[in-house]
Amino acid sequence: MSALYLLIFASLIVALGFLGAFIWSVRRGHFDDDYTPSVRILLDDNPEDAN
Amino acid sequence: MSTFSYSKNDTQTSHTCYHCGEDCKDEVLHTDNHTFCCEGCVLVYDLLKESDLCRYYTIDGAQGISPDPGFFNGKFDYLDLPEVASKLIEFTDGKLTAVNWYLPKMHCSSCIWLLEHLYRLNPAVRSSVVNFPEKKVRITFEASQIRLSALATLLTRIGYEPYLSLDDLEGKQKQKWNRVRIYKIGIAGFAFGNIMMLSFPEYFHLGQSTSDQDLRLLFGALNFALSLPVLFYCAADFFKSAWSALKGRYLNIDAPIALALLCVYLLSLYQFIFQTGPGYFDSFAGAVFFMLIGRYFQDKTYAGIAFDRDYKSYFPVAVSVLNADTETRKPITELQKGDHILVRNEELIPADAVLKSAKALIDYSFVTGEAEPVERTKGDTIYAGGKQKGTAIELEVLQRVSQSYLTQLWNNEAFNKEKGDPNQTLAGRINRYFSLTVLGIAVVTFLVWFFVLNNHETAFLAFTTTLLVACPCALLLSSTFTNGNLLSLFGKNRFYPKNAHTIERLSHIDTVVFDKTGTITLSDDAVIDYVGRDLDIDELTIIKTLAVQSSHPLSRLIVKHLPGIAVSRRELSGFTEVAGKGMRALWGKTEVKIGSASWVGVTLEEGEANRNSEVFVSINGQITGQFTIKSKYRPELAETILALKKAGIQTFLLSGDKPTDREYLTGIFGDASAIHFEQKPQEKLDFIQKLQNQGGNVLMVGDGLNDAGALRQSEVGLAVSDDINNFSPACDAIVEGAQLSLLPAYIRLAKSGQRIIKQSFAISLLYNVAGLSFAVTGALSPVIAAILMPLSSITIVAFTTAASNIAASRATGKLTNVINRQV
C-alpha cells in the first residue's frame, strides 16, 4: 500500500509543477495578448535578418 | 439641372495607390512603376524602400496608411520636456528606455510586421513588440541615441501617429487587463481537477479495512488542503461582494451564491472532521471554477476601444505658444491666461480665447453639431473645441483649459452617476425570488426532519444539501455565458457594447433619439449638384486645380467630386484666397473666380441666400454656374427608422444645426414634432431626461461632444464612428457608421438574449427540481452532487451558446438581405 502513498504525492507534485508553470507564464505576460503571437509566427523575417 | 458634361471616355482609368490602396482621386504620382495617391504615401514608400522593408507590401492584406498631412516639424517637441517624458516612460535604467504607446491606426498583420521591424528604420530602437488587440506597441530604445520626440516623429512618418492624451500626461493610464482573474481561474481549475481525482475512490466505495480507512483520511485531508485556496483566494470576490450588499441591506446575485458556497463548505468540513462522509469539496471547487470562467467570459471586453473618454482625450496634448516670435510647444495643462497660441489648419482650439489674427474659419461641428464652419474676425471670442480650417491663426488665451465653456458640461450630475443598478438585472431579479424559494424549501425540509421525523442528523444534511443542489451558480452561468457570447456576436457585427449590462438595457429600449450631423449624415461626403451652363473638360480642370489650392472644406468636397479630372501642373498666376470669401487666379489669360455669391459678383434675392452651401464659379467675369452642397444622409436611414417604428419604438431627432432639410426629415421621422433643431448640449440632455420622466427607456445615438451629456443621461448612449479608433465621446456602445442601419437588429438580438437567459433559467430549474428531490429526502450522496453539478453547468453553457448564435444569425441575416437589396 505504501507505493500508493508515494504515487499520490508524486502526482500531486507533478500537478503543482504545472500550476507553477501556469502562474509563471501569466506573470511573464503570456496571457496578456492572445492574438498577436498567432499572427507574428506567420510573418517571415527577411533572409538577411537571419545572419 | 445639368450634370457635369464630361463623358466617361474622358476620364482616365482609375489608379489604386500602391501604399494605401485607395483610389487616386486628386492626383496620380508614379515612382518605381507604382502609382501613389499623394506625396505622403510616396514618402512612406521611399522610407520603407531605403530600409529594405518593401516586404511590407507583399504581406496579405497590406494596406498602408497615408501619413497625416497635418503633421509639422516640432509637433512632438514637448515630449522632450523632462516632466512630460517622465510620465510617458514606462521604464528606464538610464541606458535603455521603454514606452508603451497606443497607435490607433494599427489595423492588419502587416502593421504588426512593420512596427516590429522599427529597428531597421532607426538602429537606436532595440525592440518593438506589438499588442494587437490593445493596439499598443512597446518600444525599447537607447535614450542617448534617439529622443522621445524623434521616436514619435518616426512613427508618425510611417503613418502610425501615437495617440497621446491628457490622461497620459496626468499619469492616469488605466490597467485594463487584470491578471489576478486568470490566476484565480487557474488555481480553482487545478484544485477542482485534483479534488475530483482524489474523490474517485470514495465514489466507488472504499472498504472498511484499516488501510482503506487510512487512505480515506489521507484523501480527505488532501481535499481539505486543496479546497483552502479556493475558499480564501478564488471565491473571495463572491464573499466580499455579498458582504457589502448585505451591509447595504439588499440582496445581490452574489449573496445566495456566497451562502450556498459557505453552507457546502461548512457541511464538508463537518463531515471531514467527524468522519461522517467525504464532503462535497469537489462540487464546491467545481462551482467556483465554472462561475469564475463565466465571469471572465462575460467581462472580456474590447481592449482596443475606449468607452470612457471625456473631453480630455479629444484635446491635443500640446499647443504652439508664441513668445516674442519664437514658437515653442507647451503642454496645454500649463497654458496660462494671456498666452499667445498658434493654431494650425485642422488643429483644435484648446481653451477659450480671443482671435488675434484677421480672420478664422472655425468648425464647431463636433462641439455644437453645426454642419458648416463659421467665420470669426479679429477680437472675437472663440470657444474651446472648435477646429480651425485654413491658415494658421493666432489666439490669446482667456481661460485655463479646465475652466473653459466646453468643459462645464462635464459638471452635470449625469457624468457622476453610474448607469443602471447591476442588481436590477434580469438575473439579479429572478435570483432574489429563487433564493427566497430555495431558502424556504430548505427551512421547511429542516423543520420536517427535525420535529416531525425526529431525525436530527438528516435534518442538517438535508438542509445544507438543499442549498447545495439549488446553488444559484447555474443561474449565474446562464446570464454570464449568454451575455458573454452576445458581446462577441455583437462585436462580429461591428457593434461594440461596453459591457453585459448594456445589452440588458438595450433590450428594454422603447425610444430612440438621433443626432443629425455626423450621425445620420455622412461626415466626409456630401451631395454636390452643379447648376449652370455645361463646363468642358478644360474648365473642370481649371476649377479642380484652383480648388486643390484651398483647404476650405467646400473646396475639398469639390475636389473630391471631380474624380476623373487631372489636376494640372501648370502654374496658376496671381492666386489670391480670401478666407470665407473665395479664390481668384489667372489661368494663362483667363481669370477664374470660385467662391461665395458676393465674391464672384452674383446678387442673390432676399431669402435665397444661405439655404444651402453654394459655391459660385466665374470664368472671365462670366458666371458659369454654382455648386450646391448639401449634407448627405446615410442611404439606409429611411428604412432603419421604418424598421424601428414597426418594432414599436418611438424615434426623435435632436440637432444642434440650423433647420435645414426639415421637409426631408419630417418625411422620414413621420412627424414634425419629433424633430428639434438648434439644440444646445444641455438642452439635449434635458430632452432625454424629459423622455425618461415620461417612462421612456431612451437610446441616444450621437457622435460628438455636443451629444456627450445626452449619451450619458440616456439608458444606452450609442456613439457612431466611421472609424472606431477615432475619438468618440463617453458612451455605452460604439457602432460603425455603416452599420447603424442594423440598429433594429441589434435591439432584437438584445431582446432574444433576455429570452435565452429566461429559457436557461428554466433548464437549470429542472436540474434543481431533480436535485432537490434527492436533497429533501436526505439521500443526496456526494456522487450524485458531483454528477449533477457539472452536468447542469455544461448543459446550460451549451444551450446559451447555441441559442444566442442562432438568434444572432437570424437577426443579422434578415438585415443583410435588406442591405443586399439596396446594393
Query: In CATH terms, is domain B523-633 a member of 3.40.1110.10?
Result: yes
pLDDT of residue A51 exceeding 50, the answer is: no
Phi/psi at B745 (nearest 5 deg)?
-70, -35
Does residue B633 belong to the interface with chain A, where contact is any CB pair within 8 Å?
no
Mean pLDDT computed over B714-734: 77
Mean pLDDT computed over B59-70: 70
pLDDT of residue B705 exceeding 60, the answer is: yes
In terms of average pLDDT, the best of B72-86, B144-158, B396-410 is B144-158
Q: Which helix (H) or strand (E) holds B1?
A: none
For domain B494-521+634-751, give the CATH superfamily: HAD superfamily/HAD-like (3.40.50.1000)
The pLDDT value recorded for residue B225 is 94
Q: How far is CA B238 from the centre of its chain?
A: 29
How far is B165 from chain A, CA to nearest CA, in Å?
A: 23
Does residue B59 belong to the interface with chain A, where contact is any CB pair within 8 Å?
yes
Q: Do A15 and B190 make contact, defined as CB atoms within 8 angstroms?
A: yes
The pLDDT value recorded for residue A49 is 46
Mean pLDDT computed over B431-441: 79
How far is B56 from chain A, CA to nearest CA, in Å?
A: 10
Q: B387 pLDDT band (50/70/90 cuts)?
A: confident
What topology is assigned to B316-411 in CATH? 2.70.150
The pLDDT value recorded for residue B513 is 92
Mean pLDDT computed over B349-378: 80
To the question of pTM greater than 0.90 for the whole model, the response is no
Q: Do A23 and B186 make contact, defined as CB atoms within 8 angstroms?
A: yes
Sign of CA dihedral A17, A23, A24, A25: positive
pLDDT of residue B3 exceeding 50, the answer is: no
Query: Other CB atoms closer than 10 Å to residue B318's CB: what's the count?
Result: 26
pLDDT of residue B417 exceeding 50, the answer is: yes
The pLDDT value recorded for residue B309 is 65
The pLDDT value recorded for residue B224 is 94
Per-residue pLDDT tens for B224-234? 999 999 999 99
Do B298 and B481 form a contact (C-beta atoms < 8 A)? yes
Does residue B123 belong to the interface with chain A, where contact is any CB pair within 8 Å?
no
Do B38 and B9 form a contact (C-beta atoms < 8 A)? no
Do B487 and B294 form a contact (C-beta atoms < 8 A)? no
Which residue from A minimizes the CA distance to B112?
A: A40
Q: Do A33 and B134 make contact, defined as CB atoms within 8 angstroms?
A: yes
The pLDDT value recorded for residue B412 is 65
Q: B1 pLDDT band (50/70/90 cuts)?
A: very low
Q: B9 pLDDT band (50/70/90 cuts)?
A: very low
Which residue from A minimizes the CA distance to B303?
A: A33
Report the relative pairing of strands B698-702 and B511-515 from DSSP bridges.
parallel
Query: What are the residue ranges spanned by the domains of chain A?
Result: 1-32
Helix, strand or coil, per DSSP, at residue B359: strand
Query: In CATH terms, is domain B77-169 a member of 3.40.50.720?
Result: no
Q: B190 pLDDT band (50/70/90 cuts)?
A: very high
d(CA B16, CA B19): 9
pLDDT of residue B402 exceeding 60, the answer is: yes
Query: Other CB atoms closer than 10 Å to residue A45's CB: what's the count?
Result: 11
Which residue is listed with cell 521616436?
B151
How far is A14 from chain B, CA to nearest CA, in Å?
A: 11
Q: How far is CA B240 from the centre of its chain?
A: 30
Which residue from A minimizes the CA distance to B109?
A: A39
Residues of A in contact with B190 (CB under 8 A): 15, 18-19, 22
Which residue is listed with cell 489674427?
B357
- Which among A23, A27, A46 is the nearest to B55, CB-wise? A46
Per-residue pLDDT tens for B551-576? 677 777 787 777 777 766 666 777 77
pLDDT of residue B803 exceeding 50, the answer is: yes
Q: Do A48 and B112 make contact, defined as CB atoms within 8 angstroms?
A: no
What residues contact residue B217 under an 8 Å CB cut-off, 6+ apart?
Answer: B275
d(CA A38, CA A42): 7
Q: Within a 13 Å sphere around the CA of B525, how many CA atoms are in the beta-carbon half?
A: 11
Mean pLDDT computed over B672-689: 85
Query: What are the residue ranges spanned by the domains of chain B?
Result: 8-58, 77-169, 316-411, 494-521+634-751, 523-633
pLDDT of residue B698 exceeding 50, the answer is: yes
The pLDDT value recorded for residue B823 is 36
pLDDT of residue B84 exceeding 90, the answer is: no
Residue B253, amino acid:
I
A&B contacts, CB < 8 Å:
58
Residue B330, amino acid:
K
The pLDDT value recorded for residue B334 is 79
Residues of A in contact with B52 (CB under 8 A): 46, 48
The pLDDT value recorded for residue B731 is 82
Q: A50 pLDDT band (50/70/90 cuts)?
A: very low
Does residue A10 belong to the interface with chain B, where contact is any CB pair within 8 Å?
no
Per-residue pLDDT tens for B462-498? 887 777 776 667 777 888 888 888 888 888 888 888 8
The pLDDT value recorded for residue B489 is 86
Mean pLDDT computed over B499-516: 88
How far is A46 from chain B, CA to nearest CA, in Å?
A: 8
The pLDDT value recorded for residue B2 is 39
Mean pLDDT computed over B772-791: 77
The pLDDT value recorded for residue B234 is 93
Nearest one of B280, B248, B245 to B265, comparing CA atoms: B280
How far is B179 from chain A, CA to nearest CA, in Å?
A: 7
Q: B187 pLDDT band (50/70/90 cuts)?
A: very high
pLDDT of residue B160 exceeding 80, the answer is: yes
What's the mean per-residue pLDDT of chain B? Answer: 80
Residues of B in contact with A34 (CB under 8 A): 133
d(CA B41, CA B24): 11
pLDDT of residue B625 exceeding 70, the answer is: yes
Residue B331, amino acid:
P
Mean pLDDT computed over B404-408: 69
Comparison of pLDDT for B102 and B227, the residue scoring more: B227
Per-residue pLDDT tens for B635-658? 888 888 888 888 889 899 988 777
Residue B412, amino acid:
N
Q: B5 pLDDT band (50/70/90 cuts)?
A: very low
Residues of B in contact with A1 (CB under 8 A): 211, 215
Q: Do A32 and B109 make contact, defined as CB atoms within 8 angstroms?
A: no
Q: Do A19 and B186 make contact, defined as CB atoms within 8 angstroms?
A: yes
Does residue B91 belong to the interface with chain A, where contact is any CB pair within 8 Å?
no
Q: B303 pLDDT band (50/70/90 cuts)?
A: low
Q: What is the value of ipTM here, to two decimals?
A: 0.89
d(CA B722, CA B494): 11
Does residue A38 belong to the interface with chain B, where contact is any CB pair within 8 Å?
no
